[in-house]
Structure formats: C-alpha cells, structure tokens
Amino acid sequence: MTSARLGLTLSLLFTALAAPAAADTPLHDRRPYMGPGTYTTDDPLRIPVRPPGEPGAEIVLTNGRVLDVEAGTVEAASIVIHGNRIKAVLPEGSTDWSPDARVIDVSGKTVMPGLIDMHTHVTYPDRDTPPEEQANEGSAALLGQRNLRYFLESGITSVRDVNGVSNVPYLLSAWSAANKIPSPRVFTAGHMITGTGGHANERPLTPKRGPEFAWEVDGPDAWREAVRKVFKAGGSVVKIASHFSADEVAAAVDEAHLLGLVITCDCETIYTQMAIEAGVDMIEHPLPRSDESIRLMAKKGISSIPTMQVYHDLFARVGGYYGSTSRRFSMSSEMHLAMAKKLKAAGVVQGIGTDTIGPAARSLPYFYIAELQWFLKAGYSRMEVLQAATIVNARLLDMDDKLGSLEVGKLADVIVVDGRPDENIDDLANIDIVVKDGILLVQSGVLVPVRRVPEPLVAPVPMD
C-alpha cells in the first residue's frame, strides 16, 4: 500500500467528492454535487441521510497478504475495520488499533475486497419450482434469500440483480441495505424493460415471460415512463432489452441518466448499434455485434459484461439456445470467447457477471470462478481478472468511491481467502471469512448468525 493511500481520511474523501463537476462528468453521476461531510445511502442513488451514530465494534484482520487491486500488488498488512468502514491499512508489524478490538489472525491467507457479480437473477425459479409458483412472490423471496446466502458464502459481497419476480428484488435490496438479512448488497433493476414480444417475452408463453418479470412497453413515452417506475420502485440501475426502436431506446437512456442511474442493455446485432448510438452505459452478454459497434463502444466508453460461462453451461446441457425470436443468430462458446477477445483488443472495459439464473446459483462459487477463467482464456492476467471482479465492477456500478478496494473510508466489504488467488484463481473457492458492511457474516467458510439484541419492553410487569 502507498503511504498516500494509507493516509487517506474520510474527510478528504468527502472533500474530493464535493469538487465541481467536470465538463465530461457523466450526466447520471451525482457524486460531484455532494458537499463535504454529506452522508448518503450506500447505493448509486446517493440520497442524503442523517450522519450515523457512534461507530460500532472494531475488527482487525492481521498478518494477512493484503491485495491492493488499485496498484496490482500484494503486501503484508493488517486491515482495521471500525463500524462499517475501513479505518486503517497498517503496515506489517503495526498494532495501532483499539485495545478492545476483535483481532483475527489470518496469517498466510489473502485479504481482498469483496467480489462483485454484475449480472444475477437471484429470485428466478429453478428446476424444482412448480409452474404455478414461478411468478409467486413468496416463492421468489425464499429462493432469493437462499441464493443470496450462496453468493455471500462464495465471497461475493455485492450483486447487481438485473430483473426478477415482481417487487421481490426491490425488497431484498432494501432488506440487505438495512442488514435485516445475511446478504450481499443488492443493486437491482427490478423489472427488465423491452418492446412487446421482446427478449424473455416471446412465445411459448410461460410464467417467466410475463409482467411479473419484465415490462413490455411501446413508444418513447411508454419507455420513459417504465424507467421512472423502476426508479420509483427502488431500482438502482435500469435494464432494457431488445427489441426496441431508435427513439424508444434513446428515451430510456435519456430518462435513466436524468434520474441519476446507469442503464444497461441485453441486446444484439442491429439493436446493439442503436443502444450504443443512444448512449447506453453497458451491453450485457457476448452476443453478435458489428465491428463498427465495437469501435463505437470503445470510443464512447461503453462497457461490456460478457457472461460467457452461462452460455457454455447451457450448450453443455441442451446443445444450444433454441426456439427464441430474440436469439436469431448462431452461438457457441468459441464465438463468445472470440467476441470477448475482440472487445479486449478494442479497449472496451469488461466486468465480471455470471447471469446466474435458475439452478446456476447452486454451483457457486464454481460458476463465478468459471467466468474468471473465461477472462483468463481471453487474455487477461490473473491480477487483471481480480481487478475486474472488484474495482472495475465497482466503477461499473457507479460505486467505486465506496466499494471495490481496501482503502481508508470505504465500506468494509472484505473477504479472506485461504490461498493465493493472485497466483491461482481457483483458490477463490476457499473463502474463509466474509465481512459485509463491517459485519462478520462468514467465518471458517460457514455463515455465522449475528446475535440479536431483543428490544426492551415498553411497559415491563410492575414488581412490588
């Protein structure tokens, strides 16, 4: 760790965030308008809130191999967590922490920022969900909480959930933010927005292709209204999908940015070009697009979430992506890897997302690690892959001021790996400790209950 970053303080962080907006500041970015000392919600909406009370207990992870994803280095150090923030990154040998701190020796293990998954569907039904329950809110909530546990135990402390069942994704996001359930942070799009008969709404009709999962809207005004409804319901990102017209996607992008949200698109071929020209922030999946589209993505700073493993898994199980009017093109794992390589060569920033849908969450952490391995095959180094899973993903979430690296003042989302993932990516299967929002939730690889403090009675029984 550099001495400059060791000396970073929360007040300096707020001062930096309060600097006047530069001419090239993205329209959706609200951070330059926050004054010194302004506390906000820990999501891209950045709603001002009252300052927190006195920070809670102090946790120290000492004698670890601390991964500095900004510098791409590993050094012996200790991480001091106070409340829900990183208080200090201490050099080897320093014991400058509170005498009543909870000190955990992680000798020989790697301490790093919590992993981030940029493409999940935690409430989607899986193979065991009866058809009559596939759009059921209760079933979705139970599945969602189960799947979020799997993510958490896998060292994934933030997920971007890009559509699910009814209002359940919004509720899970709120409950996670309030630490009411053991869960990663959930940044949700809630409902996907597409044109009538668009992706995931084509025939044959099923519960999963209905209004509980996605909204079919037509015309620019309707697309703008749908974006506003996602915002009102509690969305922290907007997800759209082809098909659409040029004026519809332009309206959605404009409205999302006016509301301060990043917008991503599940689109392909001609629709990818339309979305890029409209100024979308991200393109999901490794689906076909022209060389001109790739060139424009790089020029305009539009990123990509390739999600290669989910398709590779699908091809192995059923042979292909069949029977969909929103996938009228050839696909193979080789084609998808070639697309990721072309995007990398063009300078397009790519983040890590798994598209864990249905039963895929049961394969965590292996499903997530497999996506990292595809990045290795695409030509990224191990350190670049770990950066993509942490600080790069945090930037794509519009949350890099609070997440993605172990820096003083950032939120305490920290994991401990029993191994050296910078030397062997497969070591990420050995998650020992997970701290999310300063709360120790996983220890020795097992979810640990947080002791509940009962509320006192308003009117105790009078004792004479």
Alpha carbons 92 and 109: distance in angstroms, whole number = 14
- Per-residue confidence band for 37, with pLDDT thresholds at 50, 70 and 90: confident
Does residue 211 carry a pLDDT above 90? no
**Cis peptide before 113, with omega less than 30 degrees from 0?**
no
Helices (H), 39-165: 137-153
CATH ID of 115-396, from 3.40.50.300, 3.10.560.10, 3.20.20.70, 3.20.20.140: 3.20.20.140
CA angle (253, 325, 310) in 5-degree steps: 75
Domains 3-113+405-447 and 115-396 share a fold: no
CA angle (352, 334, 156) in 5-degree steps: 15
Alpha carbons 157 and 177: distance in angstroms, whole number = 12
pLDDT mean across residues, the chain: 92
Query: Which residue pairs, CB below 8 angstroms and at least 24 apart, start in 328-336?
Result: 329/268, 329/269, 329/287, 329/288, 331/287, 333/308, 335/286, 335/288, 336/286, 336/306, 336/308, 336/311, 336/312
32: tokens are 């330059």
Number of helices (H), then strands (E), belonging to the chain: the values are 13, 18
78: tokens are 């200790």
> pTM for the full model?
0.93
- Per-residue confidence band for 104, with pLDDT thresholds at 50, 70 and 90: very high
Alpha carbons 146 and 362: distance in angstroms, whole number = 10
Sign of the CA dihedral running 295, 293, 44, 436: negative
Alpha carbons 2 and 20: distance in angstroms, whole number = 27
Residue found by looking up tokens 């690296």 in the block: 405
Does residue 6 carry a pLDDT above 50? no
Question: How high is the pLDDT of residue 169?
Answer: 97
Does residue 1 carry a pLDDT above 80? no
Sequence-distant (≥ 6) Cβ neighbours of residue 28 within 8 angstroms: 44, 256, 257, 259, 260, 261, 262, 281, 398
| 413 contacts 390 by C-beta, under 8 angstroms | no
Residue count of the chain, please give it: 464
pLDDT tens-digit profile of 131-189?
Answer: 899 999 999 999 999 999 999 999 999 999 999 999 999 999 999 999 999 999 999 99
> Pick from 442, 286, 274: which is nearest to 355 by CA?
286
pLDDT tens-digit profile of 353-411?
Answer: 999 998 899 999 999 999 999 999 999 999 999 999 999 999 999 999 999 999 999 99
- CATH number corresponding to 3-113+405-447: 2.30.40.10
Q: How do the domains of the chain map onto residue ranges?
A: 3-113+405-447, 115-396
Mean pLDDT of 201-222: 88
